[in-house]
């Protein structure tokens, strides 16, 4: 089971900041998940449309230039990172899952990511907006896409197969054995968010899930290594 550091190592460092990314690498996460929005002139790493929960700023991300956003504190005196800053820091040290939140310019995003980053770092694009990941796959068929869902559709993972997804990403509250088995029958990986508790890590492992998103990657790695003994 692979361990995704959810928003970086976000239990120990402010979510979606460079220190959370650095900490996730230090904790030997197999992959790092980040959330990405467009502002007026950059792709930035932040979870919410609005600035006030995680930064000292106010208002919507999309209404600011990066010069304006970079004045705000996203935790421990750090600015909101750009996607390129995260790509530079990860640079082949582990996999990267770019969750597309407020991203509409998909062609621009693919041009923005330098070819060396595509070469160096395995990138998985995911979104709750399936139109966006479908477009990514059309523009760059060798990209891996992950279909996020917070529901249990009647025909399980059929929607993700139709997209040509590499993986289906499930909310743990709606993760059933039938859903996981259906994902596997369709040849995809089953990744589950957000899994921080010992009991849930063991349960996901028992269900045969392929990966979990956790705010505590070091803890999850330790639990898995004990289970393997």
Q: List residues binding ligand G3P (CB under 6 A).
A: 6, 33, 35, 47, 99, 126, 148, 169, 193, 213
Report the partner that residue 117 touches, choosing among Mg ion, ligand G3P, none (CB closer than 5 to 8 A by kind): none
Q: What are phi and psi of 26, to 5 degrees?
A: -60, -40
Look-up of token digits 């792709």: 43
Helices (H), the chain: 18-26, 66-69, 83-90, 106-112, 115-120, 130-139, 158-163, 177-185, 198-206, 217-228
145 beta partners = 125
Partner whose binding site includes residue 126, from Mg ion, ligand G3P, none (CB under 5 to 8 Å by kind)? ligand G3P
Footprint (CB under 5 A) of Mg ion, residues 118-137: none
Nearer to ligand G3P, 33 or 182 (CB): 33
Residues 33-52 that bind Mg ion (CB under 5 A): 35
* Residue 213 touches which member of ligand G3P, Mg ion, none, C-beta under 5-8 Å by kind: ligand G3P
Q: Are 215 and 7 in contact (CB under 8 A)?
A: yes
* 15 lines the binding site for Mg ion (CB under 5 A): no
Q: DSSP state, 50?
A: B
Q: Is 6 a catalytic site residue?
A: yes
Does residue 226 carry a catalytic annotation?
A: no
* Interface with Mg ion (CB under 5 A): 35, 99
């Amino acid at each position: 089971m692979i361990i995704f550091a959810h928003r970086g190592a976000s239990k120990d460092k402010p979510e979606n900041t460079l220190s959370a990314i650095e900490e996730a690498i230090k904790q030997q996460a197999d992959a790092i998940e980040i959330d990405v929005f467009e502002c007026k002139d950059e792709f930035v790493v932040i979870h919410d449309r609005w600035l006030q929960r995680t930064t000292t700023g106010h208002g919507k991300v999309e209404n600011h230039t990066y010069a304006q956003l970079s004045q705000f504190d996203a935790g421990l005196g750090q600015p909101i990172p750009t996607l390129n800053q995260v790509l530079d820091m990860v640079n082949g040290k582990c996999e990267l899952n770019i969750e597309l939140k407020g991203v509409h310019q998909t062609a621009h995003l693919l041009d923005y990511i330098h070819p060396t980053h595509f070469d160096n770092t395995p990138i998985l694009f995911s979104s709750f907006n399936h139109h966006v990941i479908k477009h990514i796959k059309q523009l760059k068929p060798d990209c891996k896409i992950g279909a996020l869902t917070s529901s249990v559709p009647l025909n399980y993972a059929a929607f993700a197969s139709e997209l040509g997804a590499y993986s289906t990403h499930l909310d743990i509250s709606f993760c059933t054995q039938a859903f996981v088995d259906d994902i596997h029958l369709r040849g995809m990986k089953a990744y589950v968010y957000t899994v921080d508790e010992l009991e849930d890590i063991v349960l996901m492992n028992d269900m045969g899930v392929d990966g979990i998103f956790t705010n505590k990657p070091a803890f999850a790695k330790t639990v898995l290594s004990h289970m393997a003994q």
